[in-house]
Amino acid sequence: MWIFVTLVLVDLYVWWRLVTDLRKRNKVLQAIAFAVKTALSAILIYLVAKLVLYKGPFDDPANAFRYIAFGVINILVISVGSVYLGLSIITRLAGRIMRRRMSGLVITNIILSGILVFLFADGYFRQRFDVKIIREEIPVWIPDSGLDGMKIILISDLHLSSYHGHYRELAGVVDLINSEKPDLLLNAGDFITFGWKEFGMCDTILKRATARIGSFAVTGNHDDGSYMPGYDETYGRECMERVSRKIKASGYTLLDDTTVIITHNGAQLSLSGVVTRGHRLNMTYGDFAKVMDQYDDTMFNIMLLHDPDGWAVAEKSGMLPDLTLSGHTHGMQIGLPVPGGYISPASAIHEYWKGLYSKEDSFLFVTAGLGTIGMAARIFMPPEIIVLTLRQE
């Protein structure tokens, strides 16, 4: 409830500043600014009312989506309020130091706030569905030339309730996957955010995705339902059972702390999955030793591991797989493209957060995922489908 009170206070502060700053300004500027602010306040009030008054299942896809839609308005309102307050403080301090009145504060506030509104609106309506196909050739040690050229598609973090009302876009993701004609389709987990009901009928969409050898998945830290308010072990068991059933109905072989041997062009390789559990900085992982005991030095080994931070844990277990594939970070859903990659706050939280990493002869690839969590928007951090091609070193 405290977040609602904070948002109302910040929203009132921004209104007060707008009314004060624009009192003697151009009428057109007033009309535009007040219209945009009225719309944002109306959306905020609507979402707060829907969340507070809702009495149905928390993990109903519509309710789960409202939480991340609320996250967009939440972050936007706080960002605009911070811009207003921060610039005001900086301007006043600069004025005192320079002993003169600083001008241009009002217009600067309006312009920066307008940019923020545009970025968040674009991130909500367009960027979160603007799926990019990322292609990467990985030069690895391959014991059998039959694996050279093998095409692997990696996806992760669907958070299916983030597609509520936009399941056509989810179907579009499936179409993009099929257009690549992959040998393997691998999913690094987090199919849901809060609870099993979010899955809805999405299995009927997901099972249309095909790969020549097959589709495989591992569960992530959200898939056990531990983010559900009022979570207990009984619900956790029910959620994991139902989510596992839905994952399998979606066409995946579920690899939770298990290893399978698959064949491509007559060459064998091992494919394993290690579960990720926990919240934020308190992550736990499944049984690395159990999985790695099944590795064969004469085979190429691939591991699905939802949280890339677990790569260091895998290393301590005595043997890294040749290729580890992860998601989890979302790239924080916000970044800035620069030559050679991205700048993102995710880099301050995760050692491995997006792209290809290597350690001796072992590789890790981390995808920024497809869905959204926290806020239903992506800003310069597009959803992605990763197409990896193995190349004999």
pLDDT in tens, 25-70: 888 988 999 999 999 999 999 999 999 999 999 999 999 999 999 9
CB atoms under 10 Å from CB of 90, counted, come to: 12
Q: How far apart are CA 157 and CA 101, in angstroms?
A: 50
pLDDT at 36: 92
Whether the CB-CB separation of 252 and 204 falls below 8 Å is answered with no
Sheet holding 323-326: strands in order across? 258-264, 267-274, 300-305, 323-326, 362-366, 355-359
b (16+ CB within 10 A) / e for 331-359 = bbbbbeeeeeebebebbeebebbbbbbee
What pTM did the predictor assign? 0.94
The ranges assigned to domains in the chain are 2-125, 132-392
102 burial via Cβ count (<10 Å: 0-12, 13-18, 19+) = middle
β-pair partners for 279: 282
In the predicted model, what is the mean pLDDT of residues 217-223? 98
Q: How far apart are CA 60 and CA 241, in angstroms?
A: 18
Residue 226 has pLDDT above 90, yes or no: yes
- pLDDT more than 90, % of the chain: 76
CB atoms under 10 Å from CB of 98, counted, come to: 9
Whether the CB-CB separation of 218 and 208 falls below 8 Å is answered with no
Q: How far apart are CA 127 and CA 104, in angstroms?
A: 32
CATH superfamily label, 132-392: Metallo-dependent phosphatases (3.60.21.10)
| pLDDT tens column, 79-133 | 999 998 888 888 778 777 777 765 677 788 889 999 999 999 999 999 999 999 9
DSSP 219: -
| pLDDT tens column, 293-323 | 888 888 999 999 999 999 999 888 777 899 9
Reading phi first (left if > 0) and then psi (alpha if -120 to 50, else beta), residue 344 is in: beta
The secondary structure element, H or E, covering residue 132 is strand 132-140
Q: How far apart are CA 322 and CA 343, in angstroms?
A: 27
pLDDT at 1: 64
Whether the CB-CB separation of 303 and 275 falls below 8 Å is answered with no
Whether the CB-CB separation of 335 and 379 falls below 8 Å is answered with yes
Q: How far apart are CA 192 and CA 78, in angstroms?
A: 27
Mean pLDDT is lowest, of 73-82, 105-114, 240-249, for 105-114
In the predicted model, what is the mean pLDDT of residues 9-37? 88
- pLDDT more than 70, % of the chain: 99
Mean pLDDT of the chain, nearest integer: 93
Residue 285 has pLDDT above 70, yes or no: yes
CB atoms under 10 Å from CB of 171, counted, come to: 16
| pLDDT tens column, 327-378 | 999 999 999 988 878 899 999 999 999 999 999 889 999 999 999 999 999 9
Those residues whose C-beta lies under 8 Å from the C-beta of residue 333, and which sit 6 or more positions away, are: 123, 368, 372, 373, 374, 375, 377, 378, 379, 381
Residue 147 has pLDDT above 70, yes or no: yes
Q: Three-state DSSP class for 33? A: helix
Those residues whose C-beta lies under 8 Å from the C-beta of residue 68, and which sit 6 or more positions away, are: 161, 162, 193, 372, 373, 374, 375, 376
Alpha helices of the chain — where are they, by DSSP H? 2-22, 27-53, 61-98, 105-125, 167-179, 202-206, 233-249, 288-292, 310-316
CB atoms under 10 Å from CB of 172, counted, come to: 14
Q: Which of 32, 196, 140, 219 is nearest to 391 (CA)?
A: 140
